[in-house]
Amino acid sequence: MFKPTAPQEAKDFIEFVNKSPSPFHCTFEATEILKKAGFQEIKERDSWNDGLIQRQGKYYFTRNGSAIVAFEVGGQYNPGNGFSIIGAHTDSPCLKLKPISKKNKSGYLEVGVQLYGGGLWHTWFDRDLSVAGRVLVELENGTFKHTLVKVDRPILRIPTIAIHLDRGANESFSFNKETQLAPILATEAKAQLTGINPTEGVESEASHHPLLIRILADEMNVKPNQIRDFELAVYDTQLSVIGGACNEFIFSARLDNEEMSFCAIRALTEAKGIENETNIRLVALFDNEEIGSQTAHGADSNLLPVTLQRLANTRVVDCENVSLTAFEESIHKSILVSADMAHAWHPNYSDKHEENHHPQMHKGTVIKVNANQRYATTAVTSLVLKELAKKHKIPIQEFVVRNDSSCGSTIGPMLSAKLGLRTIDIGNPQLSMHSIREMGGTDDVSHGIHLLRVFYEEFAELEQKFIVD
């Protein structure tokens, strides 16, 4: 019997993405992987001196619960040595609940939502939807706890209009994003029959349907009046799966960019040879890339610059004295791999791709190049990964956009400019980017992990062979 198998790394990613319907969940699941690998949590608000940071030490911290930085200190590291950095992002285009989401319309309870990022919004119609994110829960001692919530059952749906009422829908499906993209929660009649009505002292019910608040409270096992505020995203309850005749595809939400976030974390935890490493190996997963990164926890914040500066200026136990210019010295011995998903060659829209650049699934991670520096890749940074891929027989591909097409961007250029840091933009190939349901290749997860792992293991030594400045 024909029973094709998929790589274990792809199966592990499926489990990861199914647990991560929001950036908060993605960050939490990353911490779970790190803790199992022996990483220790530290806090940005604390001092990192007095022996906290040690050679061969493994550490991580979060910011806002939606961004995370993890690093491992080389056994031969001294301040002024370089950083081997991988950056990715935890967010994806989605619908987010408005501060006042309560809407009643034509006998239905609806939930008001905002558009987050540049999604393919027509794909959100007729899907079995729910909510997930973080809730600020008031505890008995008066403190407010950041609490994750994920309602597993479908409680929302955005229905399309029947073809009988819109005969031109197949020629041009258009809709008003404010009035026609509102998810339905319940009928007014059924909601009234539940007996769930506004309750005195439950502040959140002034802005949101009491029925929704009760569902959230039950999910977290708290009382409705303990829910003080929240950030909730709408997500598709259909689970991510491995599919295709040969089990070669991943059908999933949020491949962009939870796949590269997963690959980066796994590469850091699996990389060997830390006892002889001269660099600090670091991964940074940022939030808010899909809306420009200009937030306190986005890539355009001080998150990475401050972290690198603190580490460069921290006296690691038993290391030599810290130079006053250790940070500046370290930047010029470092490199950033900006890991964000790439566009695979689309068989039904092949003319949208440049004729000599056709990234395909199962054929390796993609190096992204743009002459106008919408991607930060240079000949030097490209050759670094090409040399590693060649040595270890890891497949790799290249991508440029057509001259008559606009080019997207990612976190690479802004971090490269902010820090004066050599950078390369890469990503695994996928189809249907920014759809509610995307499509990738199973082999590419293992390709991505393997490439990033050998980058961590060998960049410090390889860097010395590049003579530029």
Phi, psi of 401, rounded to the nearest 5 degrees: -85, 155
pLDDT of residue 49: 84
Nearest in space to 424 (alpha carbons), one of 464, 384, 465: 384
**Closest to 364 measured CA to CA, from 452, 432, 255:** 452
* 266 Cβ contact partners less than 8 Å away, ≥ 6 residues apart: 9, 12, 33, 449, 453
**Beta bridge partners of residue 135, listed in sequence order:** 147, 230
**Can you tell me the distance from the alpha carbon of 271 to that of 263, in angstroms, rounded to the nearest whole number?**
12
Task: Pull the structure tokens for residue 80.
Answer: 């002024």
pLDDT at 455: 98
User: pTM for this one?
Assistant: 0.97
In 329-395, DSSP assigns E strands to 335-339, 342-343, 365-368
Going by their DSSP bridges, the two strands 144-150 and 184-187 should be labelled as unpaired
- Cβ atoms 80, 466 nearer than 8 A: no
Residue 408 · residue 425 · CB < 8 Å: no
Per-residue pLDDT of the chain (469 residues; tens, 9 = 90+): 998 999 999 999 999 999 999 999 999 999 999 999 999 999 999 999 878 899 999 999 999 999 999 999 999 999 999 999 999 999 999 999 999 999 999 999 999 999 999 999 999 999 999 999 999 999 999 999 999 999 999 999 999 999 999 988 898 889 999 999 999 999 999 999 999 999 888 999 999 999 999 999 999 999 999 999 999 999 999 999 999 999 999 999 999 999 999 999 999 999 999 999 999 999 999 999 999 999 999 999 999 999 999 999 887 766 667 788 999 999 999 999 999 999 999 999 999 999 999 999 999 999 999 999 999 999 999 999 999 999 999 999 999 999 999 898 999 999 999 999 999 999 999 999 999 999 999 999 999 999 999 999 999 999 999 989 8
Task: Check residue 317 and give its pLDDT.
Answer: 63
- In a 10 Å sphere around its CB, with 0-12 CB exposed, 13-18 middle and 19+ buried, how is residue 64 labelled? buried
Two tokens at 403? 């001259």
CA angle at residue 340 from 334 to 346, to 5 degrees? 140
| The pair of three-digit structure tokens given for residue 294, joined into one six-digit string | 């200009």
DSSP-derived letter for residue 352 is G
By the 10 Å C-beta count (0-12 exposed, 13-18 middle, 19+ buried), 175 is classed as middle
Tokens of 154: 């479908």
Residue 156 per-residue DSSP state: B
Report which secondary-structure segment, H or E, holds 191.
helix 188-193
Closest listed residue to residue 299, CA positions, set 261, 343, 267, 266: 261
Structure tokens at 167: 């005969």
Q: Identify the residue whose tokens are 């039950």.
A: 218
**Position of tokens 């401050």?**
306
| 227 bridge partner residues | 137
Parallel, antiparallel or unpaired: strands 144-150 and 129-138: antiparallel
Task: In whole angstroms, give the CA distance from residue 184 to residue 128.
Answer: 11
Q: φ, ψ for residue 468 (rounded to 5)?
A: -125, -65
User: Helix, strand, or coil here: 266?
Assistant: helix
CA distance 229 to 213: 11
Q: Percentage helix, strand, coil, to 5, in the chain?
A: 30, 25, 45
**Neighbour tally for 320: CB within 10 Å:** 10
In 82-155, beta strands by DSSP E? 83-89, 94-105, 108-116, 129-138, 144-150
Structure tokens at 87: 């950056």
For 391, the 3-state DSSP assignment is: helix
Residue 367 CA to residue 359 CA, distance in Å, equals 9
Strand partners, 426: 339, 367
